[in-house]
Chains A and B, each alone.
Chain A
Amino acid sequence: MTRRGFLRVGSLSLLGMSIQQYLHLADAWAANGLESPQKKAEACILIWLEGGPSHMDTFDPKPNSRFKPIATNVDGIQVSELLPGVARHMDKLAIIRSMKSEENNHPQGGYYALTGHRPTIGELFPSFGSVICKERGPRNAVPPYLLAPMPWETYFPDYKDGFSAGFLGPDYDPMVLPDPSGEDFEVPDLKLPKGLTSDLIDHRRSFLKVVDRHCRDLEQRGELGVMNALSERALTMVTSPEVKKAFDLSRESEQTRDAYGRDRVGQSVLLARRLVESGARFVTASGYGYAEWDTHADNDELLREKLGPTLDRTLSTLIEDLEQRGLLETTLVVVMGEFGRTPKINPNGGRDHWPDCWSLALAGGGIRGGQVIGASDEEGAYSVDGHVAMGDVFATIYKAFGIDFTKTYETPFGRPVYIANGLNNLPGRPLTELL
């Protein structure tokens, strides 16, 4: 890209930007070239590791872990012995080992990891899923943004906020699904009640035409028009066989359901794949329940007994499945929690919160696998070569989706904020190695 090129682009968005931010962006542009936005990703699956996974016991093996490092199918890259299935697919995965978060507790950390912003009382920032759905829009009648299931059975509003659309409004909030592994899994309001046939719906709508007669004048002008359009879309959704099929896990073979795992983790990821295949844009598979990765006690046991095996099984199955179906090229998979865990084991045999250095993994959607970005020190305590911020990860993902990662939104206070917001509110920079 020519210098003139980026100056021209720069001057468009220079308003309200400090010279520091500007140079930061200019670097990003110079390194990546804004002129040929790459666009491979069409959909995204986020596997949410609720509670914050121990990085040195998973993607960043260290001597201070009980678990041994094992070789992968990529020379020179090792992962924890807890992830043998993942190791076979390392060529498709990229691991970032120098993540840094600015928050050290669950609701705030989750919020930060999902939005790139620390929580404030006045503004609710959109999750990166909401941003992708806003920028790329729905693909068909299937709802674009879904969350399956809500990780917490108790009502924890400020945990939930991270997944929301924030100030973008309810149009970009995820549709929240119940636990797909349940016997009676059913999506609320997506199935007509027993006995309510489409004939009956027609009847009801003719009655509605009569009783709304007095407002017909107003109907022409906006509000009701919007509701009418929404009603049509709703009707299409509840009557569309495609939508119905998208949520119907019973259409998967027993073999596939078993391979993903018959628990919340496995079935939520399987449902995510079904949805993405049917047209969803962004699905958060949040099968791990409240604090499941929050191993303050008995870290090693929990990882050995449940967390490691379920993650390994489901993630490796997903990658194989996507690849077999030809969806891996267009489906970006993100595997992360809200932060990492302490290098030292505490007196309860647990590991506590560690936001300074942790790992996440990406695959598919145009991400170049088989590599590790960043490195942590001997113990996995601090990065040895600079940090990667959530904003950088978001910028990478947006770029993979062909979204202008330098874009800003205006908050309700009229404050411009980057959709890829990095450390210290600097714009995030795509990780060039990954694209």
Chain B
Amino acid sequence: MEPNRKKRHSMTAGIGVLAVLCVIGLMDARGLADDPSGEPTLISLRFLPEGAALWGSGAAQRFMVLGAYSDGLERDVTDQTWFILSDLEKASIDAAGRLTARADGELELTAEVGKVTAKARVTIEGSDEQPPFSFARVIGGILTKRGCNAADCHGGVKGKNGFKLSLNAVHPREDHKWIVEGGEFQVLSDEASGPKTPRIDPEQAEQSLILLKATGEAAHGGGRRFETGSSDYQTILEWVASGAPYGAESGEEPVVIDGIEILPRESVLGPDGRQQLLVTARLSNGRREDMTDQVTYKSNNKEVARVNADGVVEPVKPGETAIMVRAAGHAASARIGVIAQTLANYPEVEGYNVIDEHVFGKLRKFNIVPSQLCTDAEFVRRVCLDVTGTLPPGHRVREFLDDPDPDKRNKLIGVLLASPEYVDYWTYRFADLFRVSNYGQSGSKYAAMYWQWIRNSVAENKPYDQIAMERIAAQGFDGPSRHYYHIGGELPKPPNEMAEQVRVFLGRRLDCAQCHNHPYEAWSQDQFWGLSAFYGDLTRLGHLGIDMVIIDDPAGHGEVGAGQQVIHPRTKQVVLPTFPNGRALSAAERVDLRGHFARWVTEHPYFAEALVNRIWSIFFGRGLVEPVDDFRSTNPPSHPELMALLAEEFKTSGYDLKHLMRLIVQSKTYQLSGLPNDTNREDEMNYSWHRPRPLDAEVLFDAICQVTDVYGEFGGAHNQRRAVNLVAPDLHPLRFLEVYGQSDRMVVPERKNEANLDQALHMLAGSTYNEKLGRDGGRLDRLLEGETSDREIINAFYMVAYARLPGPDETGVLEAMIAERADRKEALEDMVWAMMTSREFAHNN
């Protein structure tokens, strides 16, 4: 039997190819057919998906063929492919690669481009069975595909023009009710308001509002979504006519979509590339189903790449973006890179550890060459600031630079991770994140207890899940319990506290779901309040002003009265502590509610990745997900596999913070130079060179004190020399810290570190930059006493401020500038001022 061959070349495409050939022919007729010079050649082919198991009558699967080329790019060659089926009785395939099942059995699918081939196996079962109807999949699918339930249409928080749908059909039960019964959504009540207008008419199905509106026969703000008589129209019409079932009426739960997957997950396009995306659903019955034609596609950045309704991606300009795919109840994304050109001689880049494998691997695909490794001088300053928040002392810099040991970087990392400054610095980091303040803990004594707990945890490198457990479930009168004790003895409100813990430990912002289902994510308001209820027993015992104990007390004997019952704002019902999967705690389980919540948090897969991302962002100035605590399906990580791998590594290590940091700072990715090259200059998210990061207020302040060797700003009873060691910063307001963006710790901190006018004023006229310069006993004063030469003074300040010696282009000029001034001290003060206000100093480079 002759194999079934189909080749897709539409007329226009064919003419296009011919036209190109003609032009080239006119310009240069020599050896077009066999001259591959400049043109990459096809090396191998592969199928996506690699195989398929189809089930059900009329089941279909779309196949895509990717070709690996000699220039390192993989291109979508589906439209140049001959598809060959081993058995035409069992299935058919069209030119676009869409295979439709005909009869049960197994068959082989071959792709051919020129002489290169690839094969895929296909099995077909149940080809005469009808899958049971599911409202969620069928009707929800159409509403999603047609954009009816998008966030700016009926999927908005309050719906649109009196008709509400859940975003992406995430809540199909509610959608069914809004369609079949009608009524207007209310934020503060679960009673529908307004007249109840059903969107269907089972007696006269074609008169159903849902059809009249969608086809534009009745006035519709959203315009025409599909044509009368189209297949979507028919599907809805038949559904209405058959009584608008939900699909579970028979008592059997319908098959639902558990998740969707996109192929390929990541692809790189040249200027003329195109890429078809394939979307497959994982179903609750264990099967998989092609959804490519039943989803919506959206480019996160249309200036980088466009996508059409069929899932074909085309490049616009070099850059990187995600293509969002929404199916009924689910969303996923594929990463698309657009490059200007491929590099003929991409250098061999060797990594040090698993981080480099992923980061460099992606750079290779994107044709971005990473910068060189940084110099020892760059490294020592960078790693000291990142691990200890401290500039390396001048003599330690010299020691390090002079050390011939090839493993000296790793040795230094070991020393820093074991240093007391590490404890200072990471105590400050977590005191910021966990919000230690005089105001927040109702006084300096309690703030100090809370802070000391953090400090002890950092000092003993306590497993991070234990830290989280202790903070969330704190009871009694220990350090972490002070988190719950605000000024005036006020206790935090359950929804606020729950949302904060989820944001801090799971990297998700649930706040929107307090008042309504989350507008972009699958978080429902019920889930939000179910989780909040884990804070329902939080209370305190004792007397104001005297040591107050934090407890979970179901009877609510605390000063705040009979517990804090958590009331759902829409149903006005008391909410039981309920996990997001719908499981409520049984009566017997309802003791130590926050203990349950803490276990749920620390056992959640989000827990490890949220911390990994937070730590990563401190070392790179940008999270794999950015903003750092805003993980969303619409905000995917830049390196998903790396994220998963580091999260797993962190978990396996026993949530060992130092282990994770060591892995990061040992990587070559971390140790890249701050000088970009021609291929990576524009790169902002792939870590191909070390982008300078502004120092945080406290670290910068301490650095200025260190360079001038003038401390004492926080003097008096509170004898702390360093800003990072302030227990309760609100007790020591300092203009410098304020203008450089110190967190007031009233909310989960989000430092922006953007330059502002107050900083500029403070640099010019402020005390920090003026009063320390030549102060008696300070560094400059001592050097001047010691009859040190200008050059030695310049060198000394360069070593401590920049961890390097001045270049030849600096020394001479500076010496001359000092020499020509009448007042030498004044001149040197001016130089020190300049160094402290310089960009190199104020950044980690």
> Which residues of A are interface residues toward B (Cβ below 8 A)?
15-16, 18-19, 120-124, 143, 155-158, 160-161, 169-171, 175, 188-193, 196, 200-201, 203-208, 210-215, 218-219, 223-224, 226-227, 230-231, 233-235, 237-238, 412-415
- Whether a CB of chain A sits under 8 angstroms from the CB of B455 is no
Cβ distance B742 to chain A, nearest Cβ, rounded Å:
11
Within 8 A of A (CB), among B417-448: 437-439
B interface, how many residues as a size bin?
35 or more
Q: Which residues on the B side are within 8 Å of A213 (C-beta)?
A: 809-810
Can you give 24 A-B contacts (C-beta < 8 A)? A120-B511, A155-B731, A156-B439, A157-B439, A157-B745, A170-B758, A190-B761, A201-B764, A205-B834, A207-B814, A207-B817, A207-B830, A210-B814, A210-B817, A211-B810, A211-B840, A212-B838, A214-B840, A223-B839, A227-B839, A231-B764, A235-B764, A412-B750, A415-B512
- Whether a CB of chain A sits under 8 angstroms from the CB of B560 is no
When C-beta atoms are compared, the residue in chain A nearest to B493 turns out to be A121
Mask, B724-738, CB within 8 Å of A = 1, is 000000110101000
When C-beta atoms are compared, the residue in chain A nearest to B771 turns out to be A193
Q: Is the CB of B830 within 8 A of A200?
A: yes
Cβ distance A235 to chain B, nearest Cβ, rounded Å:
6
When C-beta atoms are compared, the residue in chain A nearest to B770 turns out to be A193
Cβ distance B484 to chain A, nearest Cβ, rounded Å:
14
Q: Is the CB of B746 within 8 A of A161?
A: yes
Q: Is the CB of B761 within 8 A of A238?
A: yes
Cβ distance A379 to chain B, nearest Cβ, rounded Å:
29
When C-beta atoms are compared, the residue in chain A nearest to B497 turns out to be A121
Mask, B807-818, CB within 8 Å of A = 1, is 101100110010
Q: Is the CB of A157 within 8 A of B746?
A: yes
Q: Which residues on the B side are within 8 Å of A234 (C-beta)?
A: 757, 760-761, 763-765
With A19-B161, A124-B747, A189-B735 as known contacts, state yes or no: A170 contacts B807, CB within 8 Å: no
Q: Which residues on the A side are within 8 Å of B767 (C-beta)?
A: 193
Cβ distance A147 to chain B, nearest Cβ, rounded Å:
13
Q: Which residues on the A side are within 8 Å of B766 (C-beta)?
A: 188-189
Q: Which residues on the A side are within 8 Å of B750 (C-beta)?
A: 412
Q: Is the CB of A233 within 8 A of B757?
A: yes
Cβ distance A427 to chain B, nearest Cβ, rounded Å:
14
Q: Which residues on the A side are within 8 Å of B758 (C-beta)?
A: 170, 175, 189
Q: In whole angstroms, how far apart are the Cα atoms of A412 and B630 in the complex?
A: 10
Cβ distance B680 to chain A, nearest Cβ, rounded Å:
14
Q: Which residues on the A side are within 8 Å of B764 (C-beta)?
A: 189, 192, 201, 231, 234-235, 238
Q: In whole angstroms, how far apart are the Cα atoms of A210 and B159 in the complex?
A: 60
Q: In whole angstroms, how far apart are the Cα atoms of A219 and B159 in the complex?
A: 48
Within 8 A of A (CB), among B498-542: 499-500, 503, 509, 511-512, 514, 519-520
Q: In whole angstroms, how far apart are the Cα atoms of A122 and B766 in the complex?
A: 32
When C-beta atoms are compared, the residue in chain B nearest to A164 turns out to be B744
Q: Which residues on the A side are within 8 Å of B761 (C-beta)?
A: 189-190, 234, 237-238
Q: Which residues on the B side are within 8 Å of A203 (C-beta)?
A: 817, 821, 827, 830
Q: Which residues on the B side are within 8 Å of A124 (C-beta)?
A: 747
Residue from B157, B735, B754, B810 within 8 A of A188 (CB atoms) = B735
Q: Is the CB of A200 within 8 A of B807?
A: no
Q: Which residues on the A side are within 8 Å of B159 (C-beta)?
A: 18
- Whether a CB of chain A sits under 8 angstroms from the CB of B833 is yes
With A122-B503, A413-B512 as known contacts, state yes or no: A204 contacts B756, CB within 8 Å: no
Q: In whole angstroms, how far apart are the Cα atoms of A214 and B803 in the complex?
A: 14
Cβ distance B320 to chain A, nearest Cβ, rounded Å:
19
Q: In whole angstroms, how far apart are the Cα atoms of A223 and B838 in the complex?
A: 12
Cβ distance A222 to chain B, nearest Cβ, rounded Å:
10
Cβ distance A208 to chain B, nearest Cβ, rounded Å:
4
Q: Which residues on the B side are within 8 Å of A238 (C-beta)?
A: 761, 764-765
With A189-B758, A230-B755, A234-B757 as known contacts, state yes or no: A210 contacts B765, CB within 8 Å: no
Q: Is the CB of B770 within 8 A of A169?
A: no
Q: Which residues on the A side are within 8 Å of B627 (C-beta)?
A: 412
Q: Which residues on the A side are within 8 Å of B807 (C-beta)?
A: 214
With A121-B747, A169-B754, A227-B755 as known contacts, state yes or no: A191 contacts B810, CB within 8 Å: no
> Which residues of B are interface residues toward A (Cβ below 8 A)?
152, 156-159, 161-162, 437-439, 496, 499-500, 503, 509, 511-512, 514, 519-520, 627, 692, 730-731, 733, 735, 741, 744-748, 750, 752, 754-767, 770-771, 807, 809-810, 813-814, 817, 821, 826-827, 830-831, 833-835, 837-840
Residue from B744, B810, B834, B839 within 8 A of A218 (CB atoms) = B839
Q: Is the CB of B765 within 8 A of A218?
A: no
Q: Is the CB of A230 within 8 A of B756?
A: yes
Q: In whole angstroms, how far apart are the Cα atoms of A219 and B838 in the complex?
A: 11
When C-beta atoms are compared, the residue in chain A nearest to B729 turns out to be A155
Q: Which residues on the B side are within 8 Å of A190 (C-beta)?
A: 761, 765
Name, among A121, A191, A200, A224, the residue most crowded by chain B CB atoms within 10 Å (CB to CB).
A121
When C-beta atoms are compared, the residue in chain B nearest to A222 turns out to be B755
Q: In whole angstroms, how far apart are the Cα atoms of A200 and B821 in the complex?
A: 11
Q: In whole angstroms, how far apart are the Cα atoms of A192 and B766 in the complex?
A: 8
Q: Which residues on the B side are within 8 Å of A16 (C-beta)?
A: 152, 156-157
Q: In whole angstroms, how far apart are the Cα atoms of A124 and B749 in the complex?
A: 12
| Nearest 5 Cβ contacts at the A-B interface | A207-B834, A234-B760, A230-B760, A208-B834, A122-B511
When C-beta atoms are compared, the residue in chain B nearest to A170 turns out to be B756
Name, among B439, B731, B834, the residue most crowded by chain A CB atoms within 10 Å (CB to CB).
B834
Q: Is the CB of A204 within 8 A of B765?
A: no
Q: Is the CB of B763 within 8 A of A231?
A: yes
With A15-B152, A169-B752 as known contacts, state yes or no: A224 contacts B839, CB within 8 Å: yes
Q: In whole angstroms, how far apart are the Cα atoms of A211 and B830 in the complex?
A: 11
Q: Is the CB of A208 within 8 A of B837?
A: yes
Q: Is the CB of B755 within 8 A of A121?
A: no
Q: Is the CB of A192 within 8 A of B839?
A: no
With A161-B746, A211-B834, A234-B763 as known contacts, state yes or no: A223 contacts B755, CB within 8 Å: yes
Residue from A122, A208, A231 within 8 A of B747 (CB atoms) = A122
Q: In whole angstroms, how far apart are the Cα atoms of A59 and B745 in the complex?
A: 38
Q: In whole angstroms, how far apart are the Cα atoms of A208 and B157 in the complex?
A: 53
Q: Is the CB of B809 within 8 A of A155?
A: no
Q: Which residues on the B side are within 8 Å of A19 (C-beta)?
A: 161-162
Cβ distance A290 to chain B, nearest Cβ, rounded Å:
14
Q: Which residues on the A side are within 8 Å of B763 (C-beta)?
A: 231, 234
Q: In whole angstroms, how far apart are the Cα atoms of A230 and B754 in the complex?
A: 11
Known: A121-B500, A238-B761. 14 other contacts (CB 8 A): A122-B748, A123-B511, A124-B747, A155-B438, A170-B758, A189-B762, A207-B834, A210-B814, A211-B810, A212-B834, A212-B838, A212-B840, A223-B692, A234-B760
Q: Which residues on the B side are within 8 Å of A169 (C-beta)?
A: 752, 754
Q: Is the CB of A158 within 8 A of B765?
A: no
Q: Is the CB of A208 within 8 A of B733?
A: no
Q: In whole angstroms, how far apart are the Cα atoms of A124 and B746 in the complex?
A: 10
Q: Is the CB of B834 within 8 A of A122?
A: no
With A120-B511, A122-B747, A210-B834 as known contacts, state yes or no: A171 contacts B756, CB within 8 Å: yes
Q: Which residues on the B side are within 8 Å of A155 (C-beta)?
A: 438-439, 730-731, 733
Q: Is the CB of A158 within 8 A of B746?
A: yes
Q: Which residues on the B side are within 8 Å of A193 (C-beta)?
A: 765, 767, 770-771
Q: Which residues on the A side are within 8 Å of B692 (C-beta)?
A: 215, 218, 223
Residue from B731, B748, B765, B814 within 8 A of A192 (CB atoms) = B765
Q: Which residues on the B side are within 8 Å of A415 (C-beta)?
A: 512, 519
Cβ distance A103 to chain B, nearest Cβ, rounded Å:
13
With A210-B810, A234-B757 as known contacts, state yes or no: A219 contacts B162, CB within 8 Å: no
Q: Which residues on the B side are within 8 Å of A189 (C-beta)?
A: 735, 758, 761-762, 764-766
When C-beta atoms are compared, the residue in chain B nearest to A122 turns out to be B511
Q: In whole angstroms, how far apart are the Cα atoms of A235 and B771 in the complex?
A: 19
Q: Which residues on the A side are within 8 Å of B437 (C-beta)?
A: 157
Cβ distance A242 to chain B, nearest Cβ, rounded Å:
16
Cβ distance B768 to chain A, nearest Cβ, rounded Å:
10
Q: Which residues on the A side are within 8 Å of B161 (C-beta)?
A: 19
Q: Is the CB of A227 within 8 A of B833?
A: no
When C-beta atoms are compared, the residue in chain B nearest to A14 turns out to be B221
Q: In whole angstroms, how far apart are the Cα atoms of A204 and B499 in the complex?
A: 48
